[in-house]
Amino acid sequence: MRMQFAAAAVLFALPLGGCAVAALGTAGAVGVAAAQEKSLGEAVDDATASNEIKSKLLSESANKFGEVDVEVTGGLVLLSGRVNTPEERVKAEGIAWTSHLTRDVANEIRIQPPGGFLANVSDEVITGRVRARLVGSSTVKSLNFNIETYNGVVYLMGIARSAEELKRAAEEASVVGGVKQVVSYVRIRDNTRTQQAAPTTQGTPPYQTAPDASYDYQADGELIGANY
């Protein structure tokens, strides 16, 4: 099954999965894959890559990379969270590329001092609220979407069955209180082609696929405009 990568930025949305590590074991991946669009093999590979990369980061330095989150979908590694220096940001990306299961890396790590317990909890709350919105939506298959939140910026990953479903998921996230922006690294199911980002070892995010559409929202979630 081929996929098309889509990246969409949405203003005034909601939170991130904080700095807690969601380590999904193989048994968990098997159960989740049964309800997702991804295959069992993809689910196991993603869980394995996520655990491998996070373990390497902590082994390198728990102090430096303890607030770096790792999420993997379809071989795309999303790094979010915070580190103290640009060199640590580049180092974290380099570690992500060491996994043989890595196909692309989206480096969203910020150069900031530690956020502390309250900042992380706030992001976790936002993530939970966004998840609840997706679960309650009749047009979004919530199990296909992973949610990470950092400093009020919500990152969506996963597989959308259509561009309309992706748009709806972003809209649902954008109306959650506390969300500043929604950034999507969601793949859209496509039977004709697969678009991938070119690997890079630079400090800037290597995931450079142009957005299929970007949406701007007012604080109340009203759509101002869309560009395709």
Alpha carbons 206 and 188: distance in angstroms, whole number: 19
The pLDDT of 29-43, averaged and rounded, is 62
Is the full-model pTM beyond 0.85? no
- In the chain, the percentage of residues whose pLDDT exceeds 90 is 57
Measured CA distances, 112 to 17, 78, 203 (Å): 17, 18, 15
Report residue 117's pLDDT band, with 50, 70 and 90 as the boundaries: confident
Residue pair 183/211 in contact by the 8 Å Cβ criterion: no
| 210, pLDDT greater than 60 | no
| 177, pLDDT greater than 90 | yes
Q: Which long-range contacts (CB under 8 A, 24 or more apart) does 23-30 make?
A: 23/50, 23/51, 23/54, 24/50, 24/51, 25/51
Report residue 176's pLDDT band, with 50, 70 and 90 as the boundaries: very high
pLDDT at 116: 72
The pLDDT of 44-66, averaged and rounded, is 96
Q: How confident is the model over 128-168, as pLDDT tens digits? A: 999 999 999 999 999 999 999 999 999 999 989 999 999 99
Structural Rg of the chain based on CA atoms: 16
Q: How confident is the model over 7-34, as pLDDT tens digits? A: 444 433 333 333 333 333 444 444 444 4
Q: How confident is the model over 96-109, as pLDDT tens digits? A: 999 999 999 999 99
The three-class DSSP label of residue 133 is helix
- The DSSP bridge partners found for residue 217 are 223
| 207, pLDDT greater than 90 | no
Residue pair 107/57 in contact by the 8 Å Cβ criterion: no
pLDDT at 64: 95
- The DSSP bridge partners found for residue 195 are 4
